[in-house]
């Protein structure tokens, strides 16, 4: 599609949506219109709610077994490929890990319209990127592609030509700041976070104007109320105002200034409520002994006004985190029946092993249950206070520095890391790629030095079966979850962690990828396997689907890496290297090798 035709297509879609979205009071009308057309995949979760559901059904559970490779595209980069492409009309935009290349591809003949290769200082940036040089995706709005580079530079590119329209700096790699998150656009603002919790970076969410890159607001995760954009009397947590200095009161001295709470995950948005939802990461350092208190508001789910950034509610899942249970995982928005009442909910599968269902309007906690039976660091979540009941045996602070706390479940990479789940309104189930991994965790003292690792713990990881004593050695499961009851409906064991994002479709099929490189399709109701195909490298990308020229396609990025694959991606060998992951995933090298390839599938004919 020519640039002129692309602009005409987008304009027609936008005009058509003006009367197609009753009740919507905010959001970007163009993005909203494009996302309502299932032929497109216009943001990381396809729609603002992050459901990763497509109503397309040409590919369905009756014929998915006939899928064939339609075409492939090599990215030319050999590190971990997370995220997935954007598709609008006849054009696809695809990204890579560092150096964060962007390609515009003409779907009519798979030719490259343009490519953009940022100029970044690898020596300054790559060494401070935790857990591989991944990047999770692009954003689109107003004829622009938004790229959040690893060196923290946020860039707006002309979607038709690849010309750089503006750029702005979001952080400082010399002090440990980097970026790996996919931005999201609401109205005239593009939202992005920051990475670097393992370097003492203080987390925040920032909103920039999409037209010139000027900063509109920035909301920190820790610190004074005014810098966090928190109103002590009107920001709620568990039904009560958070109160004055709610963060400062939970840190020792000025530790909040290097307190982590970074925001490198996914962002979702409710247009009717005009609220942005996201999670904050672990407190710095990983050694909990030196930072007494709840360490608010790390490990927290936030709901913020998209225009002003003011926090409406906050819920801290893991107060005084002792295990690196980052809270950055996606927040899926859905309307489901809970206890006999239809509720507007937010569903979050946290690294800490608990699946949370909250009222997304008020932040009320409705359900909090373990979605991996191996989870043992806490017995349950108190539904009155929202606090987990920690088991002293697995408390790394209780044992103290230089003492190894053994057999903690889940491991630091969580029962699920950033790999996003999917929700099907057809079945009412959530489909969750999970890790089934436990760890030994030994804290040690570390001094903060800007730009240097600020971890303070040695980890080793292993299959959860070793702790459960059930004779199993699988490192992952793919599960279907009932968020109203907090129950696993079915579970599929996989040899390695399921590190890809899931996709649910109107054809009754759910897709996911495996670390060995298989694209897998299963029945959405039963979990029965319907299709499996080996791609060129291990999959940590997210499965997408779209329609082009009257035909449905499935796309997946393969390219082993990420935290689980960091040993292969970065050439690490020690069992405790890669923040503990290398030993657990050593067997991956027998099943796959490095590579960066987009593989596109379709039905024959």
3-class SS string, 200-252: CCCCEEEEEECCCCCEEEEEECCCCHHHHCCCCCCCEECCEECCCCCCHHHCC
CA distance 151 to 172: 7
Given a cut of 70, whether residue 253 has pLDDT beyond it is yes
Q: What does the pLDDT look like over 263-272, one tens digit per residue? A: 999 999 999 9
Element holding 74 (H helix, E strand): strand 68-74
* Beta strands, E only, 362-502: 365-370, 378-381, 388-390, 405-408, 422-424, 429-435, 437-443, 457-463, 476-482, 487-494
CA distance 494 to 44: 25
Q: What does the pLDDT look like over 479-489, one tens digit per residue? A: 999 999 999 99
Given a cut of 70, whether residue 218 has pLDDT beyond it is yes
- Per the CB < 8 A criterion, the answer to whether 298 and 260 are in contact is yes
Given a cut of 80, whether residue 362 has pLDDT beyond it is yes
Residue 324 falls in the annotated catalytic set: yes
Catalytic hit among 49, 324, 326, 350: 324
pLDDT for res 212: 98
**What share of the chain has pLDDT > 70, as a percent?**
96
Q: Across the chain, what does the average pLDDT equal?
A: 94
What's this model's pTM, rounded to 2 decimal places?
Answer: 0.95
Residue with tokens 């947590």: 237
Element holding 504 (H helix, E strand): strand 503-505
Question: Token pair for residue 490?
Answer: 């079915």
Q: What does the pLDDT look like over 445-481, one tens digit per residue? A: 999 999 999 999 999 999 999 999 999 999 999 999 9
Element holding 69 (H helix, E strand): strand 68-74
pLDDT for res 24: 40
Given a cut of 60, whether residue 16 has pLDDT beyond it is no
What is the arrangement of strands in the sheet containing 509-513, beginning at the earlier edge strand? Answer: 53-54, 503-505, 509-513, 518-523, 529-534
Ordered by start, the domain boundaries in the chain are 46-602
Residue with tokens 């004074």: 224
CA distance 569 to 79: 5
Given a cut of 60, whether residue 304 has pLDDT beyond it is yes
Given a cut of 80, whether residue 20 has pLDDT beyond it is no
Q: Tell me the HSE value of 413 on the side-chain side, using a 13 A CA sphere.
A: 33
Residue 506 DSSP symbol: T
Distances (CA, A) of 395 to 298, 321, 381: 18, 10, 16
Q: What does the pLDDT look like over 105-140, one tens digit per residue? A: 999 999 999 999 999 999 999 999 999 999 999 999
What is the arrangement of strands in the sheet containing 487-494, beginning at the earlier edge strand? Answer: 422-424, 429-435, 476-482, 487-494
- pLDDT category, 26, cuts 50, 70, 90? low
Given a cut of 80, whether residue 2 has pLDDT beyond it is no
Triad 455, 456, 458: Cα angle to 5°: 100
Q: What does the pLDDT look like over 39-68, one tens digit per residue? A: 999 999 999 999 999 999 999 999 999 999
- Per the CB < 8 A criterion, the answer to whether 547 and 555 are in contact is no
Element holding 34 (H helix, E strand): helix 29-36
CA distance 280 to 278: 7
Given a cut of 90, whether residue 12 has pLDDT beyond it is no
46-602: CATH topology is Methanol Dehydrogenase; Chain A (2.140.10)
Given a cut of 70, whether residue 15 has pLDDT beyond it is no
pLDDT for res 400: 83
Given a cut of 50, whether residue 601 has pLDDT beyond it is yes
- Per the CB < 8 A criterion, the answer to whether 140 and 88 are in contact is yes
pLDDT for res 398: 85
Mean pLDDT of 568-581: 90
Given a cut of 70, whether residue 10 has pLDDT beyond it is no
């Amino acid at each position: 599609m020519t640039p002129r035709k692309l602009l005409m297509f987008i304009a027609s879609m936008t005009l058509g949506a003006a009367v197609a979205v009753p009740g919507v009071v905010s959001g970007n009308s163009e993005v909203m219109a494009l996302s309502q057309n299932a032929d497109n995949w216009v943001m990381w979760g396809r729609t603002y709610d992050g459901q990763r559901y497509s109503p397309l059904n040409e590919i369905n559970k009756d014929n998915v077994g006939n899928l064939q490779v339609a075409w492939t595209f090599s990215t030319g980069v050999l590190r971990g490929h997370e995220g997935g492409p954007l598709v609008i009309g006849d054009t696809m935009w695809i990204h890579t890990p560092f150096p964060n290349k962007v390609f515009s591809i003409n779907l009519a003949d798979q030719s490259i319209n343009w490519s953009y290769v940022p100029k970044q200082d690898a020596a300054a940036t790559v060494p401070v990127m935790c857990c591989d040089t991944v990047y999770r995706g692009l954003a689109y709005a107003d004829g622009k592609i938004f790229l959040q580079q690893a060196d923290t530079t946020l860039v707006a590119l002309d979607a038709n030509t690849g010309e750089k329209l503006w750029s702005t700096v979001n952080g400082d790699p010399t002090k440990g700041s980097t970026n790996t998150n996919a931005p999201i656009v609401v109205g005239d603002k593009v939202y992005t976070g920051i990475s670097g919790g393992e370097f003492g970076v203080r987390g925040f969410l920032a909103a920039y104007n999409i037209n010139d890159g000027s900063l509109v607001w920035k909301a920190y995760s820790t610190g004074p109320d005014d810098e966090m954009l928190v109103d002590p009397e009107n920001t709620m947590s568990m039904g009560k105002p958070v109160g004055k200095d709610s963060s400062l009161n939970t840190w020792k001295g000025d530790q909040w200034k290097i307190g982590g709470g970074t925001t490198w995950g996914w962002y979702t948005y409710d247009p009717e409520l005009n609220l942005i939802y996201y999670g904050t990461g672990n407190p710095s350092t990983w050694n909990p002994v030196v930072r007494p208190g709840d360490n608010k508001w790390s490990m927290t789910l936030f709901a913020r006004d998209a225009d002003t950034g003011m926090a409406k509610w906050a819920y801290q899942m893991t107060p005084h985190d002792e295990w690196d249970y980052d809270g950055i995982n996606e927040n899926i928005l859905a309307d489901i029946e809970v206890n006999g009442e239809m509720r507007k909910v937010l569903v979050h599968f946290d690294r800490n092993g608990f699946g949370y269902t909250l009222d997304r309007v008020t932040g009320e906690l409705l359900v909090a249950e373990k979605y991996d039976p191996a989870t043992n660091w806490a017995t349950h979540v108190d539904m009155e206070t929202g606090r987990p009941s920690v088991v002293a045996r697995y408390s790394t602070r209780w044992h103290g520095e230089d003492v190894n706390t053994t057999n903690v479940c889940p491991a630091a990479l969580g029962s699920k890391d950033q790999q996003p789940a999917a929700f099907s309104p057809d079945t009412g189930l959530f489909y969750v790629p999970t890790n089934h991994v436990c760890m030994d965790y030994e804290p040690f003292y570390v001094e903060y030095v800007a730009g240097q690792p600020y971890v303070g713990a040695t980890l080793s990881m292993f299959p959860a079966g070793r702790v459960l004593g059930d004779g199993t050695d699988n490192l992952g499961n793919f599960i279907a979850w009932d968020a109203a009851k907090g129950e696993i409906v079915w579970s599929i064991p996989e040899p390695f962690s399921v590190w890809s994002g899931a996709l649910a479709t109107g054809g009754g099929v759910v897709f996911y990828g495996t670390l060995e490189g298989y694209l897998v399709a299963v029945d959405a109701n039963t979990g029965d396997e319907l299709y499996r195909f080996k791609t060129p490298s291990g999959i940590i990308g997210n499965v997408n689907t779209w329609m082009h020229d009257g035909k449905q396609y499935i796309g997946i990025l393969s390219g082993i890496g990420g935290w689980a694959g960091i040993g292969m991606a970065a050439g690490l060998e020690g069992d405790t290297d890669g923040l503990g992951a290398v030993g657990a995933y050593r067997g991956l090298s027998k099943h796959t090798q490095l590579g960066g390839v987009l593989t596109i599938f379709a039905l024959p004919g």
